[in-house]
Amino acid sequence: MRRLIGALVAGGVFLVLSFSGTAAAAPAIRWHKCAESAQRGFQCAKIRVPLDYQRPRGGDITLALIRHRASDPGRRIGTLFYEPGGPGVPGTEFLPAVAFDGFPAEVQARFDIVSWDPRGVGASTAVQCFASQAAEDRFFAGSPTRNVDGFPVGEGQMTTWIDHYRRFGERCKRRNGRLLTHVSTVDTVRDLDLMRRRAGERKMTYVGTSYGTIVGAVYANMFPGRVRAMALDGVVDPIAWSQPQLRENGGLFLPGGLRFKSDVETAKTLGAFLDLCGSTDTTHCAFSAGSPAATRQKFSELLARLPVDPTAGQTTYAQAISGTIHDLYFVTNWKLRAIELQKLWEQGPAAVPPPAGRGEEQEMAIACGEVPSPPASAFPAIDAFAQQRSGLVGPFWAWDYEPCSTWPVRSAHRYSGPWDRRTATPVLVIGNTFDPATPLRGAVAMSQQLGRARLLTVDGYGHTALINPSACIQRYEARYFVSGLLPPKGTRCGQDEKPFGA
């Protein structure tokens, strides 16, 4: 989701982080009090950036920004930029939700933390394929969809899925014009560097999670001399993101989620969820059947009871699987997921509320414009491959990138390497041992591919350390961002929240 000036000291590298000099001339960002109640205490801004940096006079678009001011302004170091991932996650909504728990207190004290809605997303100039949510709901009526149902089940649903997403892409192309060709990671990286200049920073201080690790890796290789400090957490392997990797997969052209091996990691994490649940009592895990084996069997029996037809208006087989996978991202949600599964077990399929906004087009516009995808005709066979490799969770990841197979627009600017340019400072790469979306193998690969990097491992669960906090990780992050001290090689940290409170 997958380099510094200094002197060696015992157990790590001390990094001298200079802020001397001035940023290239650029107008300062004009901040104001945010209007939304969920953004209370934050400042907001909008800036204009070129649609196409190669043709800077060919039209502008708007970016929406949000800032949390350093809580100790007398000791302020600079600005830290945060890209939460997705792709397509709006930073103006996500930063207020995670700032106070996800970022170390010392980082909050000494840095202004800035996030933004990337081009094509949220309150920035956004990709919109429908005039309203109601129009989108009518379009997808009768078809399984990624954000509501997770994946198609059976030949009929597969055919409907492929047809709907093909027409969806065509509609998006008609409604969004040139914007679709200029929402790539490269475009976002140029926006990020412009924001750095307009914030008055000579060097880049950055945190990227999930897809934000791809943004960070591209920045580190496009502008290696401008990296002051960079942490990449929940890492997507950049080679798997940008290349089809036919040789690495035995000649198979797999879609993104399977190239990242997210299916394998999800199967492992789901197994841990069921085993840990079964190892405790129903007070701690409502779905426990008294042992790991019995709880795994109970889960299989539950899924076998559920309908597969997404038009029935009840919880389906695919929805139960996809909902469980999504809750695996947050270890704090594991108890809640166990409660929901137990309700399904006792009460049967529940009525499914109408979707509360999909927003899929903004994610697809970024990912499908640059991530290689096999043809749509290959996906039934890919579905079978994924089931064989990773069991019942395989199809979730097999179909996650299928809309890219018929997406009609490729980004004008794409980055596919090199990934090993020597940055001014080492990059801190962080991975969880049980991350259902971005396997630890992605963090290991990123740490080896970057020119200068240090791997920090979390023995824990969930997608990224930032939204599954570890006081140990936060101590190392604070030292790195404030003083430049890297963790010793091979450092591993535990996690604060234990699954099911055990």
- Residue 96's nearest CA partner among 21, 144, 140, 35 is 35
Domain boundaries, the chain: 6-46+64-115+204-241+417-501, 263-347
Q: Please, where are the H alpha helices in 358-458?
A: 360-367, 379-390, 394-400, 440-449
Predicted confidence at residue 6, as pLDDT, reads: 29
The answer to whether the CB of 220 falls within 8 A of the CB of 3 is: yes
Cα angle 104, 106, 108 (rounded to 5 degrees) comes to: 70
Closest CA to 492 of 447, 433, 449, 427: 433
| DSSP tag of 118 | -
Residue 212: the pLDDT is 98
d(CA 91, CA 362): 13
Looking at residue 25, its pLDDT comes to 65
Euclidean distance between CA atoms 12 and 24, whole angstroms: 33
Q: Are 229 and 18 within 8 A, CB to CB?
A: no
Whole-Å CA distances, 145 to 152, 305, 405: 8, 21, 15
CB of 453 within 8 A of CB of 3? yes
Q: What is the pLDDT along the chain (502 residues), one digit of tens a residue?
A: 322 222 222 223 222 233 333 344 689 999 999 999 999 999 999 999 999 999 999 899 999 999 999 999 999 999 999 999 999 999 999 999 998 999 999 999 999 999 999 999 999 999 999 998 889 988 988 889 988 889 999 999 999 999 999 999 999 999 998 999 999 999 999 999 999 999 999 999 999 999 999 999 999 999 999 999 999 999 999 999 999 999 999 999 999 999 999 999 999 999 999 999 999 999 999 999 999 999 999 999 999 999 999 887 899 999 999 999 999 999 999 999 999 999 999 999 888 776 655 668 999 999 999 999 999 999 999 999 999 999 999 999 999 999 999 999 999 999 999 999 999 999 999 999 999 999 999 999 999 999 999 999 999 999 999 999 999 999 999 999 999 999 999 999 999 999 998 6
Among 449, 409, 407, residue whose Cα is nearest residue 429? 449
Q: Does domain 6-46+64-115+204-241+417-501 have CATH number 3.40.50?
A: yes
In sequence order, the 6+-apart residues with CB closer than 8 A to the CB of 179 are 51, 61, 119, 120, 125, 127, 365
Look up residue 407 and give its two tokens: 């997406």
3-state secondary structure of 486: coil
pLDDT of 357 reads 55
What is the pLDDT, as a whole number, of residue 501? 81
Q: In angstroms, rounded to a whole number, what is the distance separating the alpha carbons of residues 117 and 94?
A: 9
Pick the closest to residue 419 from 240, 251, 253 (CA basis): 240
Distance CA 90, CA 112 (A): 18
Sign of the torsion angle spanned by Cα atoms 393, 398, 402, 404: positive
